[in-house]
Amino acid sequence: NNAELSTALPDAETICEQLAARLSQPVMLGSYTIKLRFSAGILRFPDVANNVEELMEGASRARRQACRYQGNYSHQLNNEMVQLIREDKWLESELRQAITKRQCFVVYQPQYDLQTGHIVSAEVLIRWRHPAYGMVPPDRFIPIAERSGQILDIDLWVLEQACICMGRLMAKGIIDFRLAVNASGTELSNPLYPEQVRSMLRRYDLPPQRFGIEITETAIVELDEVAKMMVKTLKEIGLENELDDFGTGYTSLSHLTNLQLDALKIDRSYIMQLETNPKLVDSILQLADAFSLRVVAEGVETIEQLKLLQQKRCHLAQGYLLSKPVEEEALIALLLEDIQAAQSE
């Protein structure tokens, strides 16, 4: 009897509070004192969730959200958040045919050598234009692709586009140029990944030295020994390993040597504070120097930032000030212009 139950049972928040109070008491285990942390996700059924699947998915998301807080915490999903989960599910199924339906394409964001001012490389970034939704931001669909396992095929497709582009650049006499693709943590836990990369480069008959793999720092932190071996294998194949979004995760210093990295990309959030808080970038540059790593500054948007980075002898810069991500045709135009400028110097 619902009415009786609702009066007999305390609501979810009260249960959480009671549990948190009990669990915050230290537990004695032999001579050890153990302190527990409590996180709970709450989702109301049928008020917010429509079915059991939504209830389970939503509750586990709410719990993951609660886990991000220090100490005891419970998190309740509201209607809006559940709406977002529904949209995620829809995007996940739409994403399955996005490549075959030619809704995806890649863009290239040039990276400039801060001493010479010339373009030396570019980052390859995926774009998804859905006929009904419009442009879906990568920050929205990449996590969905990671959770659903689609990221492996997507990133391999991105690498293939990069290979095709590199072949065309070489045919136009553009040499000494590199392309870097992004890899997610999922790739690094797939033991087949380095071999897939190697065979793709062979298929297009391209030197691995022309390619870099950007691995996000948060993915590295979660890496196990197998994944570290894979980063090593990529290096042995001849690719450059770049640590993306440096400063946002918690890379231990040992990773900087163990992982055979070639470059660090300073996260945009540090470049944004460059003028007010230069010490952070200074220390990253010192650290990189000690480990003989090349440094790329991400998200350079102002001329002041650019000048400071030049003074500080940062190696490369990428950002809207220099160029937004562009399609292949525009990239080729930029490169040809840059080569001409270099020749007339």
Residues in Cβ contact with 35 at an 8 Å cutoff, skipping those fewer than 6 apart: 24, 26, 27
Buried b (16+ CB within 10 A) or exposed e, 210-246: bbbbbbbbebbeebeeebbebbebbbebebbbbbbbb
In the complex with ligand C2E, the residue whose CB is nearer, 91 or 339, is 91
137 binds, among ligand C2E, Mg ion, none (CB under 5 to 8 A by kind): ligand C2E
Binding stretches for Mg ion (CB under 5 A)? 182, 214, 244-245, 298
The identity of residue 335, as a single letter, is L
Minimum distance of ligand C2E from residue 49's CB (angstroms):
29
In the complex with ligand C2E, the residue whose CB is nearer, 139 or 224, is 139
| CA 39 and chain centroid, separation | 26
158 binds, among Mg ion, ligand C2E, none (CB under 5 to 8 A by kind): ligand C2E
Tokens of 334: 């930029």
**DSSP per-residue string spanning 111-123:** EEETTT--EEEEE
What is the three-class DSSP state of 178? Answer: strand
Q: Is the alpha carbon torsion for 78, 80, 85, 90 positive or negative?
A: positive
In the complex with Mg ion, the residue whose CB is nearer, 42 or 231, is 231
The identity of residue 285, as a single letter, is L
| Alpha-carbon gap, residue 144 to 91, rounded angstroms | 8
- Residue 177 backbone class (left: φ over 0; alpha: ψ -120 to 50; beta: rest): beta
Minimum distance of Mg ion from residue 337's CB (angstroms):
25
Minimum distance of ligand C2E from residue 58's CB (angstroms):
25
Minimum distance of ligand C2E from residue 157's CB (angstroms):
9
In the complex with Mg ion, the residue whose CB is nearer, 158 or 256, is 158
In the complex with Mg ion, the residue whose CB is nearer, 42 or 177, is 177
| Alpha-carbon gap, residue 109 to 103, rounded angstroms | 20
Minimum distance of ligand C2E from residue 336's CB (angstroms):
22
In the complex with ligand C2E, the residue whose CB is nearer, 206 or 296, is 296
CA distances from 94 to 90, 159, 171 (A): 6, 21, 36
305 binds, among ligand C2E, Mg ion, none (CB under 5 to 8 A by kind): none
220 binds, among Mg ion, ligand C2E, none (CB under 5 to 8 A by kind): none
320 binds, among Mg ion, ligand C2E, none (CB under 5 to 8 A by kind): ligand C2E
Cβ distance 216 to 186 under 8 Å?
Answer: no
In the complex with Mg ion, the residue whose CB is nearer, 177 or 270, is 270
Whose CB is nearest to Mg ion?
Answer: 214
Tokens 């470049």 belong to residue: 271
Binding stretches for ligand C2E (CB under 6 A)? 109, 125-126, 137-139, 142, 151, 155, 158, 182-184, 214, 216, 244-245, 268, 298-301, 318-320, 325
139 binds, among ligand C2E, Mg ion, none (CB under 5 to 8 A by kind): ligand C2E
In the complex with Mg ion, the residue whose CB is nearer, 245 or 338, is 245
| Alpha-carbon gap, residue 257 to 63, rounded angstroms | 35
Minimum distance of ligand C2E from residue 301's CB (angstroms):
4
Minimum distance of ligand C2E from residue 250's CB (angstroms):
17
Minimum distance of ligand C2E from residue 182's CB (angstroms):
4
